[in-house]
Structure 1
Amino acid sequence: MSTRPRTDLDDELHELWAQYREALNFADAEAARRLLAQLTERLGEDDPDIRYERAAERWNAEGPAAALGPLDALLRDHPEHADAHHARALACGELGDQPGMIAHFLEVLKLDAAQDLAAPLDASAREEALAFITATAEEVLRELPERFLRELDNVPVVLEERPHEDIVRAGFDPRALGLFEGLEHGQQTTEFQLTAPTRIVLFTANLLADFPEPELLAEEIEITLLHEIGHFFGLDEDGVEALGLA
């Protein structure tokens, strides 16, 4: 279960949330409990994000089925809570409920897009962000071993804001950071090539939402791009690392 950063907090609360996320990332359970207690004292047990974190605790302790009740209660009271919809979709996926997963994924797509409209980047900040993603991706590609670069010569890396509704309806996570689609290296199917060109996609809105700090954003662009390149070569995670792509 993951969350997008809140933008409606004072500096002290923003810092507490940042420390809490960091404690979770480093699996520091004691620090996470202490920080969540401080956040709960400030925001109250009824705060939707506190309720979300309590659902996450249930998931971690007892599995995804245990989180369904708290997540459903949260969504009844706050149907616009995109993170809760995302967690509910992931829980549905874990429990084999494909229609439920897709329904909640579609809500995430709609709510995330609405949030972008409510708080858009200004033109200059957007241009700067896209230029940063482009430059970072180009640098990652330049540093690949020559043998991989030759094979990737006809595989474009393109930027899209977020996944298209059509692939979300097929079960694709609307908060995915990247996508490889088309033919893997060595495959030959002319008909498929005509309908689904081989390409790698970086989803800019998702990258920027999850990694607002430039250093972390650059790291994640590299991780995501190498991951999708690995898919092009038909590799699993171990294979990506073994061939020096990660």
Structure 2
Amino acid sequence: MPVEMSPERFEELVGEALDEVPVELMSLMNNVVFLVEDLPEGGGDDLLGLYEGTALTDRGWDYAGMLPDRITIYRLPTLKVCETEQDVVEEVAITVVHEIAHHFGIEEQRLHDLGWG
């Protein structure tokens, strides 16, 4: 049975997960914004997070004046796969790290190989 959690509490958990990311790593992130939404565009309920943008490893000399990259964490799909609030805390932390890794150019398969999939 999915966990019930208010949008406000879920956003707090995302903030707490971001607070756990080492300062040294966060300081390397450039032109990225974090968002929380209930569902992905189109309403799919199996996507927990999404990175949209140009990974740091793909940015060249001509990368300038771009809108921020977006990391979105989806509340309802996350709650759907969790049974307890502690499960949500852990899943949000994994999803945040997973999407940040995409910002640094780490591909999906490598994340799965490392256990962050």
Could you say which TM-score interval applies, normalised by the shorter chain?
Answer: 0.7 to 0.9
Code of the residue aligned with 2:75 in structure 1: it is T
Query: What is the CA–CA distance in structure 1 between the aligned matches of 2:89 and 2:14, rounded to whole Å?
Result: 8
Code of the residue aligned with 2:86 in structure 1: it is E
CA contact (8 A) 2:45 2:76 kept: no
| Residue of structure 1 equivalent to 2:87 | 216
Alpha carbons of structure 1 residues 238 and 177: separation in structure 2 relative to 1, 3 Å: closer
Deviation at 1:228, TM superposition (A): 0.6
| Residue of structure 1 equivalent to 2:14 | 137
CA contact (8 A) 1:230 1:240 kept: no
Deviation at 1:140, TM superposition (A): 1.9
Alpha carbons of structure 1 residues 237 and 141: separation in structure 2 relative to 1, 3 Å: same
Query: What is the CA–CA distance in structure 2 between the aligned matches of 1:240 and 1:157, rounded to whole Å?
Result: 23
| Residue of structure 1 equivalent to 2:101 | 230
> What are structure 2's unaligned runs of at least 5 residues?
none
Q: TM-score normalised to the size of structure 2?
A: 0.74
Query: What is the CA–CA distance in structure 2 between the aligned matches of 1:238 and 1:162, rounded to whole Å?
Result: 23
Code of the residue aligned with 1:215 in structure 2: it is Q
Deviation at 1:214, TM superposition (A): 0.3
| Residue of structure 2 equivalent to 1:160 | 37
- Asked which structure has the greater RCO (Cα within 8 Å, sep 6+), the reply is 2
Of the two, which has the highest radius of gyration? 1
The alignment of Structure 1 onto Structure 2 pairs a total of residues equal to: 109
Query: What is the CA–CA distance in structure 1 between the aligned matches of 2:18 and 2:27, rounded to whole Å?
Result: 11
> What are structure 1's unaligned runs of at least 5 residues?
7-124
| Residue of structure 1 equivalent to 2:24 | 147
Q: TM-score normalised to the size of structure 1?
A: 0.38
User: Which has more strand, going by share of residues?
Assistant: 2
Query: What is the CA–CA distance in structure 2 between the aligned matches of 1:177 and 1:215, rounded to whole Å?
Result: 16
| Identical pairs, percent | 26
Write out aligned runs for 1:4-15 (5 A): 5=1
Deviation at 1:212, TM superposition (A): 4.2
Query: What is the CA–CA distance in structure 1 between the aligned matches of 2:53 and 2:72, rounded to whole Å?
Result: 11
CA contact (8 A) 1:227 1:240 kept: no
Deviation at 1:146, TM superposition (A): 2.0
Secondary structure of 1:156 counterpart = strand
Write out aligned runs for 1:109-148 (5 A): 129-148=6-25
